[in-house]
Amino acid sequence: MDVQPTAEALIEERERENALIEEGWRFIRVKWQHLSNPELLMARIMAAYFAAQQAAA
């Protein structure tokens, strides 16, 4: 397994994410702390879902 510098890995990850966004994918970034408030997390997920539906219409 090749290990790459953090900066390079972050750049490659951003490029992959941007390619998916350009194809219509949406992302929600979740931290461990968000799991302690499942209602708020569900609201964020549903908001992103409905926004994606609106954008696709």
Q: What is the pLDDT of residue 57?
A: 79
Contact (CB, 8 A) for 34 and 41: yes
Q: What is the pLDDT of residue 45?
A: 95
Structure tokens at 32: 């461990």
Q: What is the pLDDT of residue 1?
A: 65
Is the pLDDT at 55 greater than 90? The verdict is: no
First vs last Cα of the chain: how many Å apart? 43
What is the tens place of the pLDDT at every residue in 10-42? 999 999 999 999 988 889 999 999 999 999 999
> If you average pLDDT over residues 31-57, what whole number do you get?
92
Q: What is the pLDDT of residue 16?
A: 95
